[in-house]
Amino acid sequence: MVNSRQIEAFSEVALHLHLTVVTDAFGDSAIPMLKELLTYVGRLYHRLPEDVYRGQIVVVKSLDDSPVADGGLLYGSPDAVALPQSGRVMFQTFSNGAVRVWSSLDSIDLSKLAQSAIVYTFDQGKDTFFAGSRQATMLKLVAQAFSSNFGVPRFHSLKDALEDYRLRTARHTGCKILEKIWFDSNRIFFIPKPESLMRDSLVQFLNNVLGSEAQVRPEQNVNETEPVDIFIHWYMSQHLALIEVKWMGKSHNGVKITTEYGEARANHGAKQLADYLDENYRTAPLHAARAYLIVFDARRANTAADTRTISRPDGLKFENREITFQPAYHVDRLDFEVPLRFFCEPKCDA
Amino acid sequence: MANVADVHLFAYLSCLLFVYNGFPAGDWGYSFAGTSLGAPFGADLQDCLGAASMADLLRQDADRFLELTAAGTGELSFLQGLNSCEERIAYLEAAAATLLSMPTGLVKIAIGREPTLRPALALRVSRKLIESPAVELLYEQFRSLTAVIGSGRDLLIPATVWLTYLNQEAPTPNG
C-alpha cells in the first residue's frame, strides 16, 4: 500500500528538484553532467559569496562539452578565474576542468542554451534550473533568505554564526519559519508564544552552518524544571553551548494584546542561563559549557491593540536601545557570552 | 572532509538506499543503532575506524577531520576490488553525492527524522535501526517514493527527493 499524502509531498518535492528537471529533459544519463555542474557551483561559491552578490550568476554544462556561445574568456582551471563583484555573469564548466566566462550576456538566450545544456541561475536568493523545455526554481532548504542551497556554510564559530543570523535573518525576517512569528504583516506585534518558532528557526540555521562539526538540539534538559532552548555539543569534544531564547515587545491574539515583555524578561533569561550553567557543572563537571542569551526585540513605541501601521520614529525607537543587565553575568563570569539582542525591524509607513 | 560522525551518517544513508532497492538490511554487512542524540552509529564500523587508525591507514587532522594516509589509499583501492565490498560502492557513492545538493547539516536533520531513527531521539534512548516496528513506516515511505519517481532510477534521485522531503517534515519535540 502507498500513502497518498506522502505521494503528494514527494511529487511536490520532485517538481522543484534540479535532478528531476534535468532527467525529465535529458534522461538519467545526464546526471554525471549535473554532478559536474554542481561540483563547480560548490567550488565557485567557496570564492564568490553568492548571498551578497549583486546580479545574476549563470552556470552552464553542455551535454556534449562544446562551447555554448561565442566569445568569453577561457581559463585552464576554475581557481584561475577572475571573479566579478556584480552584474550578470555566465560560467561554462568543461569536463577537463577548464572554465569559460562571459561577463556580457545581452545576446545570450538561456532557454535556447537549455536545449542542449543544463543551465543553472542564482538570482535574488533563488536557485533555478533550465533543461530542455523544463524549468524549476528549487525549494529553499537553507534558513538564510539570500543564500543559495548550494552555498557554503562560512562559520567556524558559534558567535560568528549568531551575528550573521542577527544581521541577515532576524533583522528583516529572512526565513520562512520566522515569518510565522508575526501577528501582522507590518511586523508590529508577535503572535502569542512565538518562542518555539524563534527557536526552530535558529536550530535550523545553526544545524545548517555547524552541522558537520556539532550536534544542535532544541529543548534539552539541564535541570528538572525547564529545558534550555538550544543545546550544542561539538563532536569528539567536551565543548557545550547552552542558548536561551527570549523576546521583548508585545504579542497579539487578534482580539487584544496578550503579553508585553521588556528588559525584565531579558534579565530573567540571563538568570535562567546562569542557573543552567551552575547545574551543568554539577551534573557534567568535565564539560566546558558556554552560555548565550538571544533576545528577539520587537519593541515599538505608541502601539495599542488596534495599531496596524507604524511610523518610522515609533517603529525604530528601540533599534539602538541596548538592555541593561543586572546582574551582568557576561561581565562577572567567563563562561557567559555578551547577550545578543536581535532587533526585528517593522515595515514602517513611507 | 568528514569526521567520524559523518562516516556513520553516510554509511547509514547508504544502507537505507540498499533497503530502498529491495534488499534486506541484514545483507548490508553491518548493523546500526540510533543514539539518544538522534544519530546513527555502527559498532562494527567504529571498530574498523579504530583499527584503521591503529594501522596508520587513517588519521585525524587538527580539526578532527579524517584523512586517508598513502597506505590507506592503497588499502582502499584493494578493498574496492573485492566482491564482498563491490556491491556497496554504488550506494556509498549515491549517499555521498547528496552533498552536492545540500550541506551535511541538512542530511543529518533529515536522517534524524527517518522513521526508525526518529523514536531514538524522541524517547532519548538508543535502539537498533531498521528493525523496530517503525520499519513498516520506512517501507511505506519507500513505496510512495518509488510510485512518484519510478523504479530503476539513478539512486541519487530517490536519495535527494527523500532527504528533501524529510527536511520539510515537522520536527519531533526534541528535534
Residue range A302-321, pLDDT digits in tens: 999 999 999 999 999 999 99
The Cα B136–Cα B16 span in angstroms is: 13
Given A10, A35, A211, which is nearest B145 (Cβ)?
A10
pLDDT in tens, A21-77: 999 999 999 999 999 999 999 889 878 878 778 899 999 999 999 999 988 999 998
Q: Taking CB atoms and an 8 Å cutoff, what residues of chain A touch B164?
A: 13, 17, 139, 141
Give the CA distances from residue A27 to residues A19, A94, A272, in Å, rounded to whole numbers and listed in that order.
10, 20, 57
Chain A contact probe: residue of B1, B149, B166 with most A CBs at under 10 A = B149
Given A10, A14, A211, which is nearest B106 (Cβ)?
A211
Confidence of residue A238 (pLDDT cuts 50, 70, 90): low
**Is B31 a member of any domain?**
yes
Chain B contact probe: residue of A1, A5, A11, A13 with most B CBs at under 10 A = A13
What residue type is assigned to position B98 of the chain? T
**Is B175 a member of any domain?**
no
Which pLDDT value is given to residue A151?
Answer: 80
B128 reaches A (C-beta below 8 A): no
Contact yes or no for B148 and A141 at CB 8 A: no
Contact yes or no for B168 and A28 at CB 8 A: no
B62 reaches A (C-beta below 8 A): no
Domain boundaries along the sequence of chain A = 4-137, 154-343
Average pLDDT over residues B122-142: 86
Q: Give the global pTM.
A: 0.71
Which pLDDT value is given to residue A281?
Answer: 78
pLDDT beyond 70 at A153: no
pLDDT beyond 80 at A142: no
Among A193-207, A209-223, A335-349, B24-38, the range scoring the smallest mean pLDDT is A209-223
Which pLDDT value is given to residue B173?
Answer: 47
Contact yes or no for A141 and B164 at CB 8 A: yes
Contact yes or no for A2 and B37 at CB 8 A: no
Nearest-neighbour CA in chain A from B43: distance (Å): 16
Given A31, A141, A218, which is nearest B174 (Cβ)?
A218
Which pLDDT value is given to residue A156?
Answer: 56
- CA-nearest of A154, A23, A52, A38 to A91 is A38
pLDDT in tens, B161-173: 999 999 887 655 4
Among A193-207, B16-30, B65-79, B110-124, the range scoring the smallest mean pLDDT is B110-124
Among A229-233, B51-55, B129-133, B139-143, the range scoring the smallest mean pLDDT is B129-133
Chain A contact probe: residue of B3, B161, B168 with most A CBs at under 10 A = B161
**Is B173 a member of any domain?**
no
**Is B174 a member of any domain?**
no
- CA-nearest of A111, A122, A43, A35 to A78 is A43
Contact yes or no for A212 and B3 at CB 8 A: yes
Among A142-156, A163-177, A221-235, B23-37, the range scoring the smallest mean pLDDT is A142-156
User: CB A122: neighbour CB atoms within 10 A?
Assistant: 26
Nearest-neighbour CA in chain B from A107: distance (Å): 30
Enumerate the β-bridge partners of residue A259: A251
Q: What is the separation of C-alpha A2 from the centre of its chain, rounded to a whole number of angstroms?
A: 34
Structural domain harbouring B74:
4-168
Which pLDDT value is given to residue A139?
Answer: 86
Q: Taking CB atoms and an 8 Å cutoff, what residues of chain B touch A21?
A: none
- CA-nearest of B53, B26, B141 to A13 is B141
| DSSP assigned state of B2 | B
Given A6, A18, A217, which is nearest B175 (Cβ)?
A217
**Is B66 a member of any domain?**
yes
Nearest-neighbour CA in chain B from A177: distance (Å): 11
Contact yes or no for B143 and A141 at CB 8 A: no
Contact yes or no for A10 and B109 at CB 8 A: no
Contact yes or no for B157 and A20 at CB 8 A: yes
B81 reaches A (C-beta below 8 A): no
**Is B96 a member of any domain?**
yes
Which pLDDT value is given to residue A154?
Answer: 56
Average pLDDT over residues A191-210: 90
Contact yes or no for A28 and B153 at CB 8 A: yes
Contact yes or no for A38 and B147 at CB 8 A: no
More confident residue, A54 or A188: A188
Enumerate the β-bridge partners of residue A261: A249
Q: Which residue of A has its CA nearest to B100?
A: A38
pLDDT beyond 70 at B104: yes
Which pLDDT value is given to residue A328?
Answer: 94
pLDDT in tens, A62-74: 999 999 998 899 9
Q: Taking CB atoms and an 8 Å cutoff, what residues of chain A touch B108?
A: 207, 211
Nearest-neighbour CA in chain A from B124: distance (Å): 10
3-state DSSP of chain A:
CCCHHHHHHHHHHHHCCHHHHHHHHHCHHHHHHHHHHHHHHHHHHHHCCHHHCECCEEEEEECCCCCCCCCCEEECCHHHCCCCCECCEEEEECCCCCEEEECCCCCCCHHHHCCCEEEEEEECCEEEEEECCEEEECCCCCCCCCCCCCCCCCCCCHHHHHHHHHHHHHCCCCCHHHHCCECCCCCCCECCCCHHHHHHHHHHHHHHHHCCCEEEEEEEECCCCCEEEEEEEECCCCEEEEEEEEEEEEEECCCCEEEEECHHHHHHHHHHHHHHHHHHHHHCCCCEEEEEEEEEECCCCCCCCCCCCCCHHHHCCCCCCCCCCCCCHHHHCCCECCCEEEECCCCCCC
Task: Answer whether B157's CB lies under 8 Å from A22's CB.
Answer: no
Per the listing, cell 527523500 goes with B162
**Could you give the number of structural domains in chain B?**
1
Given B4, B141, B175, which is nearest A218 (Cβ)?
B175
Given B3, B106, B157, which is nearest A208 (Cβ)?
B106
Contact yes or no for A215 and B3 at CB 8 A: no
Q: So what's the ipTM on this one?
A: 0.91
- CA-nearest of A294, A296, A341, A346 to A317 is A346
